[in-house]
């Protein structure tokens, strides 16, 4: 691959964070949701259902506000077949969310709204990484997506509830990486840096239904449309040497505009909930996500477009993916509940297009949690271990990215709910 093209294209290979399958997509909507992992859609009964399965809020009789804070800690290590190795230099991430449910007709019609960070990514590697990777891999990649989700839910009959809502997403993208100006100015030219910052908005919609098919048996269906984000911002080419004929000839400048767009994929989910006893509840979830919508990302960097060597799009070649799992809730009494769950999340990255900036493998999420409910307040706490089996990549479009990838995450989530 053309080295100039590679440097610019890898700037954009960091966004792969769909709500289902990539990077920090297991960011918990609440501690209850994290603990039950793969058994949420039919059973989730706190305010975070506004985004996860909004039909569930139709039967709520009290207004409530839920605040959730989470802590992620982990690491990513990549051992390239070139002999180079790199490991994340920062490994703490702090996402959060806020949800409100307001019954319009208690137990029959409800409005909900949430603000959350359901997907995002932050990878930071040492600037002085091995030369075999230095010009292939961004040393800092950050994607923030804030999702505002208003929804309305209606209990149509005693056994059927339906809901519809919107995804209003604001997203920021920041990328920093080394750039070898020697490609343009000749050997001995000091390296520089390409720094890209952009943001944008996108809009989508979702709908869900929850049907009690028999006493103690619930079937939930959730569908979410894809959301296209239009990014605009600036590209700063730090350390660009002046007076270089090759750069002057193509009109390159130390700064330029940046425009692109990317699509967060749509998904379809089905959940089944069973009240085994008055105390024991089981849940089973399946979700399919159209991650292949990430396939083609246009790149427009204004007067620096020549740096792309005529290649004006990044091709990811991702595949669609599935999530499936189960969750268990056991009520010790009217106040205390114990929870646990398991979720398998399939990676959508193919070996040919795998990148350390979005280093994801098939994931196994093991969650546990406890909840306490008082008259007006509830407190829920959960922990999850995100296990990623070691993945060996070969045949990558960038040979330096062939090698072994290993990363694990620990997640703690605390939710506080107040009912009015």
Please write the tens of the pLDDT for every residue from 109-129. Answer: 999 999 998 766 677 788 888
pLDDT score recorded for residue 128:
80
Percent of the chain with pLDDT over 70: 88
Does residue 243 carry a pLDDT above 60? yes
Mean pLDDT over residues 179-186, rounded?
A: 86
Give the single-character DSSP code of 185: H
pLDDT score recorded for residue 6:
35
Q: Which residue has the higher pLDDT, 74 or 387?
A: 387
Please write the tens of the pLDDT for every residue from 5-17. Answer: 333 433 443 333 3
pLDDT score recorded for residue 184:
86
Cα torsion at 220, 169, 416, 342 (round to 10°)? Answer: 50
Residue burial 316-329, b: 16+ Cβ < 10 Å; e: rest = bebbbbebbbbbbb
- Residues 253, 304: contact at Cβ < 8 Å? yes
Burial class (CB in 10 A: 0-12, 13-18, 19+), 85: middle
CA atoms of 50 and 52, how far apart (whole Å)? 6
Confidence class for position 193, pLDDT limits 50, 70, 90:
confident
Does residue 207 carry a pLDDT above 60? yes
pLDDT score recorded for residue 124:
79
pTM to 2 decimals?
A: 0.87
CA atoms of 81 and 83, how far apart (whole Å)? 5
Does residue 310 carry a pLDDT above 90? no
- Residues 43, 36: contact at Cβ < 8 Å? yes
CA atoms of 126 and 135, how far apart (whole Å)? 13
Mean pLDDT over residues 204-228, rounded?
A: 96
pLDDT score recorded for residue 405:
87
pLDDT score recorded for residue 200:
95
Please write the tens of the pLDDT for every residue from 369-408. Answer: 999 999 999 999 999 999 888 889 898 888 888 999 888 8
- Mean pLDDT rounded to a whole number for the chain: 85
Domain that holds residue 144: 3-419
pLDDT score recorded for residue 176:
86
Angle at 414 between CA 279 and CA 65, to 5 degrees: 85
Mean pLDDT over residues 355-369, rounded?
A: 84
pLDDT score recorded for residue 22:
39
**Residue 387 CA: distances (Å) to CA of 27, 75, 91, 145, 408:** 14, 11, 16, 24, 5
CA atoms of 57 and 49, how far apart (whole Å)? 7
Dump the DSSP string for 99-163.
EEEEEEETTTEEEEEEEEEEEEEEEE--TT--HHHHTTS-SEEEEEEEEEEEEEEEE-SSSEEEE
pLDDT score recorded for residue 25:
55
Question: What CATH number does residue 301 fall under?
Answer: 2.40.160.60
pLDDT score recorded for residue 88:
72
The pair phi, psi for residue 45, each rounded to 5°, is: -130, 25
pLDDT score recorded for residue 120:
65
Please write the tens of the pLDDT for every residue from 24-57. Answer: 455 668 999 999 998 999 999 999 999 999 999 9
Start-to-end C-alpha separation, the chain: 60
pLDDT score recorded for residue 89:
57
Does residue 251 carry a pLDDT above 50? yes
- Residues 224, 249: contact at Cβ < 8 Å? no
Does residue 70 carry a pLDDT above 70? yes
Length in residues, the chain: 420
Q: Give the total number of structural domains in the chain.
A: 1
């Amino acid at each position: 691959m053309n080295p100039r093209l590679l440097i610019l294209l890898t700037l954009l290979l960091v966004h792969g964070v769909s709500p289902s399958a990539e990077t920090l997509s297991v960011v918990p909507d609440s501690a209850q949701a994290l603990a039950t992992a793969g058994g949420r859609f039919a059973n989730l009964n706190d305010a975070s259902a506004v985004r996860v399965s909004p039909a569930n809020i139709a039967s709520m009789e009290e207004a409530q506000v839920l605040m959730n804070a989470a802590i992620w800690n982990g690491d990513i290590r990549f051992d390239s077949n070139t002999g180079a190795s790199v490991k994340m230099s920062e490994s703490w991430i702090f996402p959060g969310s806020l949800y409100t449910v307001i019954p319009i007709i208690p137990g029959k019609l409800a409005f909900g709204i949430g603000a959350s960070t359901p997907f995002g990514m932050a990878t930071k590697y040492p600037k002085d990484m091995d030369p075999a990777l230095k010009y292939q891999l961004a040393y800092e990649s950050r994607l923030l997506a804030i999702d505002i989700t208003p929804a309305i839910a209606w209990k149509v009959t005693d056994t059927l509830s339906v809901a519809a809502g919107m995804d209003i997403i604001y997203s920021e993208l920041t990328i920093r990486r080394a750039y070898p100006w020697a490609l343009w100015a000749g050997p001995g030219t000091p390296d520089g840096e390409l720094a890209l910052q952009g943001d944008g908005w996108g809009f989508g919609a979702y709908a869900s239904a929850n049907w009690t098919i028999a006493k103690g048996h619930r079937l939930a269906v959730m569908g979410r449309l894809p959301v296209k984000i239009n990014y605009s911002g600036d590209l700063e080419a730090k350390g660009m040497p002046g007076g270089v004929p090759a750069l002057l000839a193509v009109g390159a400048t130390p700064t330029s505009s940046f425009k692109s767009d990317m699509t967060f994929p749509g998904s379809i989910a089905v959940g089944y909930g069973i009240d085994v006893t008055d105390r024991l509840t089981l849940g089973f979830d399946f979700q399919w996500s159209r991650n292949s919508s990430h396939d083609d990302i246009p790149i427009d960097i204004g007067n620096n477009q020549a740096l792309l060597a005529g290649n004006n799009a990044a091709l990811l070649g991702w595949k669609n993916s599935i999530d499936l799992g189960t969750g268990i809730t056991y009520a010790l009494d009217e106040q205390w509940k114990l929870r646990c769950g398991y979720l398998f999340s399939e990676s959508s990255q193919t070996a040919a297009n795998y990148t350390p900036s979005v280093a994801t493998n098939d994931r196994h999420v093991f969650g546990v949690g406890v909840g306490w409910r008082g008259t007006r307040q509830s407190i829920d706490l959960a922990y999850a271990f995100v296990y990623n089996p070691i993945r060996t990549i070969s045949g990558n479009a960038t040979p330096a990215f062939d090698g072994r990838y290993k990363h694990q995450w620990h997640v703690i989530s605390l939710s506080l709910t107040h009912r009015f």
